[in-house]
Structure 1
Amino acid sequence: MDLAFLQPLYEGEGPVASVHLDTSRSAHDADKQIELRRRAALRSLAEQGADQATLDVLEQMIGGVAEVPGPQGEALFASAGRLLGAFTLTEPPAADSALLLPVPDPLGLVIDRDHQLPHVVVAVDREGGDVTAYPAAAHEPSMKRTFNGSTLHISRVKAGAEAQASFHRRSVNVWSENTEQTADDVREAAAGVEAAVVLVAGDPKAIGLLREHLTDQPPVGELVYVDGGRSDTSALAGLRASVDAAMREAMTARHRGVLDTLEAELAGGRALQGIPAVKEALAQGRVETLLLAADRSGDPVLHASRRDPQVLGTDPAALGDDPTVFSAPAAPLLLRAAALGGAAFTEILPPARATDGVAALLRY
């Protein structure tokens, strides 16, 4: 995953408040729960020494997105009274957190983004189809198109007279025409978001016809067929559940692929693991992909400079007489070095492990 979206978070020079909160609206008292979390976060930041201007801007922003139903979270970053970034999380964080550090701590945000893939959801039946395209980590689609073609003579009948045979052919033709239009929409939507996965559900006959139309000119992304449809509330609920399951499977498979590559590259000397080796590679600009485990409870403190974000040390003396040297836990500093050094990111998913929960694939 590209880390370029983090770069605005590093524009401040002073301490940064990083807040990750559960802002789910599933419960009947969700607003009250969010308010309690907001107060706890602001109180914690005040105790850590956050300035009032920063607390004020966070107080105005905390609350999530009321229009997004169900589970969600948010990540907010502020410094010196200025909001550096506000992000909606697709899943609540494992635990609420509010930290004041010399640099932002966006690990929760990064992991949430890393779990998302750009995808297209397609639901088809004999009348047409719904095609919805989602960029990675987006709650709102970038494209949503519903096509309902001609429904004249759409139902086939059992009678066998010659006139009825013509009626049958007309039904099949309309089904085919409708799914042909849907296929065009699928290709456009998938190209628009550079989809990793295209999930297709609906009437088996319509799916069969859609598959035929997509065979000669496949869309961007892997085609995956799931349960559900577009006909009623029950079908839509089934579609949502099967899409969520398929996306989790696709995400896990993609991560496993990166971790398999890591294992092979470690054996060949083209990857590293452990904080000492990875921080040196970051300083040299050799890291193509930084890999971190989500559990950072054992992280040591490292030293860094505001002048050169890619240089990290276990001893401040290693950074010379630089007056901008500061200290912070390893993960925020490793992420800062990777984001500002043009590296990508992948989570080390359990049960995979690496020394210190840190590894890197190398450019050279």
Structure 2
Amino acid sequence: MELSFLRPLYTEGAPVASVYLDTTRAVPDADERIATRWRTARRTLAEHGADEATLEALDATVGGVPDLPGPQGEALFAADGRLLGVFTLTEPPAADRALWAPVPDPLLLAFDRDHQVPHVVVAVDREGADVEGYPAAAHEPAFRRTFNGSTLHITRVRAGAEAQASFHRRTVNVWSENTEQAAQDVRAAVDAVGAQVALVAGDPKAFGLLRDHLEPLPASLVKVGGGRTDAQSRAALREAADAALHEISAESHREALRQLEEALAGGRALQGIPAVKEALAEGRVDTLFMAPPEGIWDVPLFASERNPRALATDRAALGNDPTVFEAPAPLLLLRAAVLGDASFSEILPPTECTDGVAALLRY
């Protein structure tokens, strides 16, 4: 997963407020529950030195997505009286969290986003298609287009041999023309959201024609259940799409971890905080791998505002730089990866790495 979306969270010389809240709306008294959680988090931030302007910037935004069904969470970041970023989480945090620190804490956000897949959902039939494009972790489509083409001669009819063949040719031509337009919409959606996969449901014949019109496509094409005919078919499509996305994400992680294990065996990867921090400082890390940081949260590292990729286990190693500060290792490793244009992937069982950290190297 690319980490560029986290860059705006890193501001020079300013402490950052990081907040994670359960903002699930599908419960009774959701507004009051969320308000209570935020008051507790706000008080924690104030007690640790957060300025009122920054707290007011969060006041104006906190609350989650009102119309989103099911569980959800929210990650918010602010500094110097301005909002740095607000993100909806696909699952609530295990516990609400509020941190006022020299660096932001986007770890839970990174793990949540790492399992999301930018995708396109297509419901196609002989008349056209409904096409929706979803960026990673989006709850609403960023791209939406519906096409209904010609219905003339869309159904094959019984007739004499010559007439029947003529009608069949017209039917196939209409199907092909309709799916050609639908294919253009799918390509536009894939480009708009950087989709890795297009999930297609509906008429088998139309699917085959659509597939032919889409070759080649930079995203994988996957057939799923459901359709576009009625609400029940559309609900079945969403359920099938979610199941397919879960498996696609799981397979992607399995492949990434397989490559990591091969690279570790071949000397093209490193593991453990000491080795990984040095590779990050040298700009050699292609992908930072990290397990959920419970086990290394208390491991401190030192960093500098002047050189954010330089990390040390001893303050003296960074010289007389007055901007040196101490923070938990996971936060500083992730910051160095973001600012070094590295990617990110979670370490999942049964794979284990020293300190729960590894790095696939660029060179």
- Give yes or no for TM over 0.5: yes
Q: Distance in 2 between matches of 1:32 and 1:237?
A: 31
> Which amino acid in 2 is paired with 1:174?
V
Q: Which moved more, 1:197-206 or 1:182-191?
A: 182-191
Which residue of 1 is the match for residue 243 of structure 2? 245
Q: Distance in 2 between matches of 1:156 and 1:167?
A: 6
Which residue of 1 is the match for residue 113 of structure 2? 113
> Which amino acid in 2 is paired with 1:225?
K
TM-score under structure 2 length normalisation: 0.92
**Could you say what secondary structure the match of 1:255 adopts?**
helix
Q: Distance in 1 between matches of 2:269 and 2:165?
A: 65
Q: Distance in 1 between matches of 2:165 and 2:269?
A: 65
Indicate whether 1:208 and 2:208 are aligned: yes
Q: Is the 8 A contact 2:296 2:356 kept in 1?
A: no
Which residue of 2 is the match for residue 151 of structure 1? 151
Which residue of 2 is the match for residue 55 of structure 1? 55
TM-score under structure 1 length normalisation: 0.92
Q: Distance in 1 between matches of 2:328 and 2:303?
A: 10
Q: Distance in 1 between matches of 2:98 and 2:295?
A: 15
CA deviation digits over 1:84-138, x for unaligned, max 9? 2222233333432111122101111112222222211111112211111223333
CA deviation digits over 1:280-301, x for unaligned, max 9? 1112221121111124343311
Which residue of 2 is the match for residue 268 of structure 1? 266
Which residue of 1 is the match for residue 257 of structure 2? 259
Q: Which moved more, 1:300-309 or 1:172-181?
A: 172-181
Which residue of 2 is the match for residue 174 of structure 1? 174
Identity, in percent, stands at 66
**Could you say what secondary structure the match of 1:288 adopts?**
strand
Indicate whether 1:140 and 2:140 are aligned: yes
**Could you say what secondary structure the match of 1:86 adopts?**
strand
**Could you say what secondary structure the match of 1:175 adopts?**
helix
Q: Is the 8 A contact 1:279 1:334 kept in 2?
A: yes
**Could you say what secondary structure the match of 2:83 adopts?**
strand
Shift, 1:190, TM fit: 2.0
Q: Distance in 1 between matches of 2:194 and 2:84?
A: 28
Q: Distance in 2 between matches of 1:49 and 1:184?
A: 54
Which residue of 2 is the match for residue 126 of structure 1? 126
Indicate whether 1:358 and 2:357 are aligned: yes
Shift, 1:165, TM fit: 5.3
CA deviation digits over 1:254-280, x for unaligned, max 9? 122211111111111111011111111
Q: Which moved more, 1:200-209 or 1:224-233?
A: 200-209
Q: Distance in 1 between matches of 2:304 and 2:70?
A: 41
> Which amino acid in 1 is paired with 2:224?
V
Shift, 1:167, TM fit: 4.0
Shift, 1:164, TM fit: 5.2
**Could you say what secondary structure the match of 1:61 adopts?**
coil
CA deviation digits over 1:210-252, x for unaligned, max 9? 23333xx322111111111111111111111111111111112
Which residue of 2 is the match for residue 221 of structure 1? 219
Q: After the TM superposition, which residues 291-310 of structure 1 pair with which residues of structure 2 at under 5 Å, given as runs?
A: 291-299=289-297, 300-310=299-309
Q: After the TM superposition, which residues 13-32 of structure 1 pair with which residues of structure 2 at under 5 Å, given as runs?
A: 13-32=13-32
Q: Is the 8 A contact 1:21 1:37 kept in 2?
A: yes
Q: Is the 8 A contact 1:12 1:79 kept in 2?
A: no
Unaligned runs of 5+ in 1: none
Q: Distance in 1 between matches of 2:345 and 2:166?
A: 57
Unaligned runs of 5+ in 2: none
> Which amino acid in 2 is paired with 1:243?
A
CA deviation digits over 1:303-327, x for unaligned, max 9? 1111111111222122222222211
Q: Is the 8 A contact 1:194 1:220 kept in 2?
A: no
Which residue of 1 is the match for residue 280 of structure 2? 282
**Could you say what secondary structure the match of 1:296 adopts?**
helix
Which residue of 2 is the match for residue 317 of structure 1? 316
Q: Which moved more, 1:314-323 or 1:43-52?
A: 43-52
> Which amino acid in 1 is paired with 2:239?
A
Which residue of 2 is the match for residue 334 of structure 1? 333
Q: Which moved more, 1:183-192 or 1:125-134?
A: 183-192
Q: Distance in 1 between matches of 2:183 and 2:305?
A: 51
